[in-house]
Every structure is written in C-alpha cells, then in structure tokens.
C-alpha cells in the first residue's frame, strides 16, 4: 500500500477511527498530510462529516463517515435453495431486502430473472459495485472432472445480468456470511463459521479476516470415503434431511426453510422432520470436532436456513461439547450467527465496498472530481 494513501484513510474510518484525532494517532501522519487527504476525499463526496463524537472535555470532535448518498451497492447471497438480494447505500448499509425461495438447485437462469425483476431501472443506474456470494459446490478430490453444477455457476455475473459495467466481486457463499459476521462488534476475532441450508460449507475468521485460501476456494468441508474424499454435505446437511423425508411425503424439491417449519408441527411428517434434523445435527457436530480442534476458534457460528432451528444449533453444540477436550471445551461457544439471515448480504455489500475503496478506485474518483470542477 502506498504511503499516505487515500485507501489507508478510508480503511481506518471503516474500522472505527472516525475522528481526526483518532486518525492522527493510528496513522502517525502529520496534521497537514491528513488534512490534505481528508479534504480531497470530502471534496469528491467519498466521505462526509457526521455527528459529533462524545465530548471528553472541550469542543466535541466531528465524526467522519463514508458518504452513503453517493450511490448504491448491490449485494447477493445465493444459497442452495434460498437467495437474498439487498440494495445498500454506498457505505454498505442495507436499504431493502428481497428473498427468493430458490438458489443453486434451481439454476442460474431462474436466479438471473429474479435479479432483473428485483432491481428497478432507477436503482440500476445508481449502482456503483456488486458483491455476491455464489453457491460454488465443493470440489470432489479424487475425481477427474468438475461436477456439472459447478460449471453451471462458474462465471455467473449479477452485474452482467443487469447490463452494468461496474466493479463486481464474487466469492463462495459461506465466505460472505463470514465476512458479514466479521463486521459485527461482538464477534470473536477467531471463529469458525458454518453455513448449513440444503448444502454445507465452512469458513474461518482469523483476526476478523476471512481466510479464503490461495485460490479463493476455502470453505469446502470434505471427509474421507474409501480412497477418495466426499463433500460433507452429502452425509449431513439439508439435502440428507430432505432425502430422508421424501419417503414420508415431502416434495423432493422442498426448500430448506420447509424443514425447519415442519419440525415444529405435531404431525407424522413433523415428528420425522424433528428426528431427521436432530440426527443430522448430532452427526455434523461430531464431524466438526476435528475442525474445531485444528482451528481453535473462540466461537463456532452457525448460519444458513437450518440455523433457524433450535434442534440444529442445539444438536451441533451438544455433540461438540461432548467430544471437545479442555481447554477448548471451556473457552469456545457455539451459537447462531449474530447477523442472522442478513449476514450474507452484509458481507457481500462490504466485499463490494472493498472494491470501491482501493487506492486505485479512490484516486480515479478524486481525479475525475478534479476534472469536473476545473
């Protein structure tokens, strides 16, 4: 990163250094240099003065914030059987959310049509960047060919669907959930994030940063099966629960949210759903024990549609606690994602905001502002 860069200033403001005194302390720049950078960022409409900070004696300082009004960010979290779209302001704050009870298994054509119908022309004209969690299936080690489902979603571009020429960043769907959780002030710096709906994937937070791997494909949860490895979601996930319930009358294409709803019903199918979810959660918790021992997180955060079920979260917690040893058993907590079902779109919005606040992007915006005002 360049010394005295615009990117450094914006990065510190996003992390909470939101007054001039805090920025001077953290950046260790001269007051003249900082004032110059702030003036240029303010002049280009990238940041703006906010509310007054709490007074510590004397005149209260004015907070600095990203300007939310300079455009929109489109954020998407596409899962196995559920998708969520958020239109956000330019500071990645959610303005509105739209849901679709379909995702990876329905194919990208249906999802593309939903995106087009969910974003108005007026909104599309104001979109500055797009961030998306894409449901890329985990690799199957030991196989020579890429699964057809992976090829179908490879290169899927929500920006292209809308005909937009804006920065676009995509990653695995579990990675945007983890990124959204990392933005929450109460989330531990070291955490394991588990997204479970129809599919299953994991991500690791270290010092509040998502570890995505050398190829951006971290998050596959694989288990040995003979001489090969198989995706854990083929052994315990919403897929396995749904398949177990099909013989009890559940439609074979039921979304994962139906599994949670059914488990609360007093019916033969409801009791079967309760039992299947509990068994799946118990076995998943047992399988996660090795990951928890290896990563040594402070928290295990459960997200995705099935995290709405107390049966699932409680079952995973009980299985983990039964098998973990000290000191991890006393130090780790297992709970739902603090951002709830919005974690994915919040993470995707911040992914897009990262692209908008690189040194190159900020310098280009400031240069264009200078030309327009010259």
- pLDDT for 1 beyond 70: no
Closest Cα to residue 315, out of 293, 300, 330? 300
Q: What is the pTM of this model?
A: 0.89
- pLDDT for 136 beyond 80: no
Residue 285 CA to residue 279 CA, distance in Å, equals 10
Q: What pLDDT score does 301 carry?
A: 97
pLDDT band at residue 2, thresholds of 50, 70 and 90?
low
Residue 93 CA to residue 68 CA, distance in Å, equals 8
Q: What pLDDT score does 133 carry?
A: 93
Task: Determine the average pLDDT of the residues in 307-324.
Answer: 95
pLDDT band at residue 220, thresholds of 50, 70 and 90?
confident
**Per-residue pLDDT reduced to its tens digit, 178-196:** 999 998 989 999 999 999 9
Residue-range domains of the chain with CATH: 6-67 (1.10.10.10), 72-172+348-356 (3.30.420.40), 185-338 (3.30.420.40)
Which tokens hold the place of 272? 């079967």
- pLDDT for 130 beyond 60: yes
- pLDDT for 150 beyond 60: no
Residue 280 CA to residue 192 CA, distance in Å, equals 19
Which tokens hold the place of 227? 């001489």
Q: What pLDDT score does 333 carry?
A: 94
**Per-residue pLDDT reduced to its tens digit, 49-79:** 988 767 666 677 889 999 999 999 999 999 8
Closest Cα to residue 306, out of 265, 277, 332? 277
Percent above pLDDT 90 for the chain? 66
**C-alpha atoms less than 13 angstroms from C-alpha of 128 in its C-beta half-sphere:** 25
Integer-rounded Cα Rg, in Å, for the chain is 23
Across all residues in the chain, what is the average pLDDT?
Answer: 89
Q: What pLDDT score does 149 carry?
A: 52
Q: What pLDDT score does 55 carry?
A: 62
Q: What pLDDT score does 368 carry?
A: 86
Of 97 and 254, more confident: 97
Query: Is the separation of the CB atoms in 349 and 167 below 8 Å?
Result: no
Percent above pLDDT 70 for the chain? 93
**Contacts (Cβ under 8 Å, ≥6 apart) of 163:** 124
How many other C-beta atoms can be found within 10 angstroms of the C-beta atom of residue 22?
Answer: 18
Helix 31-43 to helix 20-27 angle, to the nearest 10 degrees?
Answer: 120
**Per-residue pLDDT reduced to its tens digit, 326-364:** 888 889 999 999 999 899 999 999 999 999 999 999 999
Strand order in the sheet with 333-336: 209-211, 200-206, 191-196, 299-303, 333-336
Q: What pLDDT score does 233 carry?
A: 86
């Amino acid at each position: 990163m360049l010394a005295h860069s615009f990117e450094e200033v914006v990065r510190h403001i996003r992390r909470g250094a939101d007054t001039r005194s805090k920025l001077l302390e953290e950046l260790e720049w001269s007051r003249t240099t900082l004032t110059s950078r702030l003036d240029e960022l303010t002049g280009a409409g990238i940041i703006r003065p906010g509310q007054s900070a709490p007074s510590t004696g004397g005149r209260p300082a004015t907070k600095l914030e990203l300007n939310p009004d300079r455009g929109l960010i489109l954020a998407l979290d596409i899962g196995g059987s559920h998708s969520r779209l958020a239109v956000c302001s330019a500071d990645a704050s959610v303005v509105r959310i739209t849901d679709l009870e379909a995702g990876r298994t329905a194919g990208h054509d249906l999802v593309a049509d939903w995106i087009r119908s969910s974003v108005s022309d007026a909104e599309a004209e104001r979109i500055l960047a797009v961030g998306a969690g894409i449901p890329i299936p985990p690799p199957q080690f030991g196989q020579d060919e890429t699964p057809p489902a992976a090829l179908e979603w490879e290169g899927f571009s929500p920006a292209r669907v809308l005909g937009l020429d804006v920065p676009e960043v995509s990653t695995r769907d579990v990675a945007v959930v983890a990124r959204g959780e990392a933005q929450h002030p109460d989330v531990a710096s070291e955490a394991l994030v588990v997204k479970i709906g129809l599919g299953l994937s994991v991500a690791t937070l270290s010092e509040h940063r998502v570890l995505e791997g050398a190829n951006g494909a971290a998050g596959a949860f694989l288990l040995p099966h003979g001489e090969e490895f198989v995706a854990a979601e083929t052994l315990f996930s919403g897929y396995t629960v749904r398949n177990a319930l099909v013989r009890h009358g559940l439609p074979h294409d039921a979304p994962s949210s139906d599994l949670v709803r059914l488990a609360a019903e007093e019916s033969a199918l409801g009791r079967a759903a309760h039992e299947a979810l509990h068994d799946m959660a118990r076995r998943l918790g047992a399988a996660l024990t090795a990951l928890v021992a290896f990563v040594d997180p402070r928290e295990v955060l459960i997200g995705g549609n099935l995290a709405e079920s107390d049966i699932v979260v409680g079952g995973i917690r009980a299985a983990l606690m039964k098998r973990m040893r000290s000191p991890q058993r006393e130090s780790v907590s297992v709970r739902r994602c603090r951002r709830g079902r919005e974690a994915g779109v919040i993470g995707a919005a911040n992914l897009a905001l990262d692209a908008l606040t690189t040194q190159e992007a900020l310098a280009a915006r400031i240069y264009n502002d200078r030309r327009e005002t010259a």
